[in-house]
Amino acid sequence: MTEKKLPLSDDKLRDIVKTFGTPFHLYDERGIRQNARRLLAAFAGLPDFKEYFAVKAAPNPFLLRALHAEGAGADCSSLPELLLAEMAGLRGHEIVFTSNDTPEEEYRKAMEIGALINLDDLSHLPFLRETAGLPDIISFRYNPGPLRQGNAIIGNPQEAKYGVTKEQLFAGFEQARLWGVKRFGVHTMIISNEINPDYFIDTARMMFELAGELFDTLGIRVEFINLGGGIGIPYRPEEDPVDLEYLGRETERLYAEHITGRGLGSPRVALECGRMMTGPFGWLVTSVRHIKDIYKQYAGLDACMADLMRPALYGAYHHITPLGKTTAPYDRVYDVTGSLCENNDKFAIDRPLPLLERGDILVIHDTGAHGHAMGFNYNGKLRSKELLLEMNGEVKQIRRAETVDDYFATLPECRLNPC
Ligand SMILES: *Cc1c(COP(=O)(O)O)cnc(C)c1O
């Protein structure tokens, strides 16, 4: 069971609503930092363990900075994400660049800032060499294909576009070595939003064995083993979070057996979690705009899928708390909707809730990762603001809401003069 709590009192939240207006995403800096500390402590038995926060989950420099202060690096996959990591004060090997179908200018930027470069395909090795030049340390993303089962978000590895086969990985290492690369790492990311820790333990075993094979075949001792992200969170109250301490202990045990025990040196183990780092510490706070009663009951909000796409995209569950009404009987059933002209724009379908009225404040939980970040402007919808509840209890706006001017900013000058 996971109790769906807020990091502040109802009264404080009402004050914030009064000051800033809904809708907004609110992040809890204390929760984010404590959780990061807990993850690092759980893996502290591994030499030089590093978490590279997957920037795409919550691309805001204030959040990156808070995580960086706790020792996390950044996992970037585009030019703007590299710039964001720089903006937040991250440097060199604190940044991993894992992208796919990568353009030349992104490799150039990654090389310029000295990020660790992780290649998604064998063909990227000559491409990188010709465009940005080769770094002295490189890794490939491994896709085990039919050897492993995936889950819903990424799909089965065999069907996934990411990474290289084992044969290609070995060929890539040999070629890179011929071209003067001296140091190597391996990477994989085959699962997302998984709450069964055994998936990650199996992945660690697979990657540690791969490191052994690389040594046996090519005599290469990798310097890091990046196990990717994908640790899930309990979106539903009846679910439990992943036991990080258990995961850390099991990973350590496997490391002792397959790495230390085989004399493979002391490669750094890394994770690049996004969701579990910020997801549970963000809330979308929104107001009921209209109640509609036709064949079903609808609560129409002032937020829409431009602010949180996961329910529409994956049918994902997000818990909803009606502020100040949690002790009322949950004797109604609502579809909780946004205003997009798209019937998928529903935060919840057939959700038991107490009687709702115009102006009620609803708190949608677990929006701190892959929430605001996934937003878009379809149907002329503008994305909401982001607020940070800081360590000292103050609330800071860390991104303003989009305006109509932002929406038109990419058009040629034709608003006043017809195009
Ligand atoms: C999205 C992504 C992650 C983070 O995934 P989570 O499920 O948020 O932990 C990590 N690595 C890569 C390469 C990704 O694309």
Place 413 in a pLDDT band, splitting at 50, 70 and 90.
confident
- Number of domains into which the chain is organized: 2
238 and 288 within one domain = no
C-alpha–C-alpha distance, residues 307 and 371, integer Å = 7
Over 80: is that where the pLDDT of 153 sits? no
* Residue 418 placed within a domain: no
Residue of 66, 70, 53 lying closest to 27 (CA atoms): 66
- pLDDT for position 285: 98
**Domain membership flag for residue 161:** yes
Secondary structure class of 410 (helix, strand, coil) = coil
Q: Residues 275-288: what's their mean pLDDT?
A: 98
Question: pTM of the predicted model, to two decimals?
Answer: 0.96
**Does 155 score more than 70 pLDDT?**
no
How far from 56 is each of 84, 221, 271, 281, 375, CA to CA, in Å? 10, 31, 15, 16, 12
**Are 255 and 232 part of one and the same domain?**
yes
* pLDDT tens sequence across 77-120: 999 999 999 999 999 999 999 999 999 999 999 999 999 999 99
Give 98 Cα–ligand 1 centroid separation in angstroms: 10
Residue 290 lies in a domain: yes
Choice among 143-147, 237-241, 325-329, 406-410 with the minimum mean pLDDT: 143-147
* Confidence category of residue 152, pLDDT binned at 50, 70, 90: low
Quote the tokens at residue 261: 């025990």
CATH code, 360: 2.40.37.10
Are 103 and 223 within one domain?
yes
Per-residue pLDDT band for 416 (boundaries 50, 70, 90) equals low
Residues near ligand 1 (Cβ within 6 A): 54, 56-57, 75, 77, 98, 189, 192-193, 228-231, 272-275, 369
Residue 286 and residue 239 in one domain: no
Supply the pLDDT for residue 154.
59
Q: Where among 273, 292, 319 does a domain terminate?
A: 273
Q: Are residues 303 and 338 in the same domain?
A: yes
Nearest ligand 1 atom, CA 193: 7
Report the CATH number that the domain containing residue 250 is assigned in CATH.
3.20.20.10
> What domain range includes position 142?
43-273
- The confidence score (pLDDT) of residue 414 equals 66
Q: Yes or no: say if 281 and 365 are a contact pair by the CB < 8 Å rule.
A: no
Euclidean distance between CA atoms 165 and 357, whole angstroms: 55
Selected catalytic residue, list 273, 341, 414, 419? 341
H-run or E-run covering 320: strand 320-322
341 among known catalytic residues: yes
Residue 268 inside a domain? The answer is yes
Query: Which among 78, 98, 120 is the best mutation to test ligand 1's pocket, defined by most ligand atoms within 8 Å of the CB?
Result: 98
Classify each residue of 145-176 as buried b or exposed e, where b means 16 or more C-beta atoms within 10 Å of its C-beta: beebebbebbeebeeeebbbeeebbbebbeeb
Lowest average pLDDT, out of 138-142, 155-159, 231-235, 347-351, goes to: 155-159
d(CA 108, CA 112): 6
Residue 397, token pair as written in the block:
């706006």
Query: What's the pLDDT tens digit per position in 121-149?
Result: 999 999 999 999 999 999 999 999 988 77
Average pLDDT over residues 362-377: 98
For 325: left if phi > 0, alpha if psi spans -120 to 50, otherwise beta; the answer is alpha
